[in-house]
Amino acid sequence: MITENSQSIARPPDDVFAFVSDVRNDPRWHTDIIEAGWDGDRAGPGATFWTRFKPFMGMSEGTGIVSTYEPPHKIVLDEEMGKLRPVTILTVEPDGAGSRITRRVEMQPVGLLRLMAPFMGGMVSKRNAEFLANLKRVLEAS
């Protein structure tokens, strides 16, 4: 299952990338994330992180690693969230006087979740668009 959404943001690409590449900012715009942090001091290739999130079925925790880090353009997060193993790819490009961010989530559901995959795709895409709309509000308000 792959979902991809984009959003224009009236902020320079460097600002947008700096904000989204720091998982500690996730609770400010990603409404499912309650808390997130680095196991070390910051993002970079091989950096590991943790999250506490509240998806539609209760509280969970997850971990991840930064598999690609190309500031100010791209960060790839390989995550473990329970039985899900999403790969989240965030790319930031110049867009006029601002930026365009694209958030792509690639996920291969396992076990019983495979049966729900056809229904999950639409929900994940809708939530992805909501997260990016929140990101736009947060960054344009500051």
Alpha-carbon distance 40 to 125, whole Å? 31
104-134 tens-digit pLDDT: 999 876 666 666 666 666 677 888 999 999 9
Alpha-carbon distance 68 to 81, whole Å? 19
- Which pLDDT band, with edges at 50, 70 and 90, does 5 fall under? very high
pLDDT at 114: 62
11-50 tens-digit pLDDT: 999 999 999 999 999 999 998 899 999 998 788 999 999 9
pLDDT at 87: 96
pLDDT at 137: 97
Long-range Cβ contact pairs of 22-26 (< 8 A, separation 24 or more)? 23/49, 23/51, 23/64, 23/77, 26/51
Q: In the chain, what are the domains? A: 2-141 (3.30.530.20)
pLDDT at 138: 97
64-98 tens-digit pLDDT: 999 999 999 999 999 988 777 889 999 999 999 99
pLDDT at 57: 60
- CA-nearest of 49, 45, 124, 47 to 84 is 124
- pLDDT higher than threshold 90 for residue 4: yes
**Mind giving me the DSSP string for the chain?**
-EEEEEEEESS-HHHHHHHHT-GGGHHHH-TTEEEEEESSSS--TT-EEEEEE--TTS-EEEEEEEEEEETTTEEEEEEEETTB--EEEEEEEEETTEEEEEEEEE----TTHHHHHHHHHHHHHHHHHHHHHHHHHHHHH-
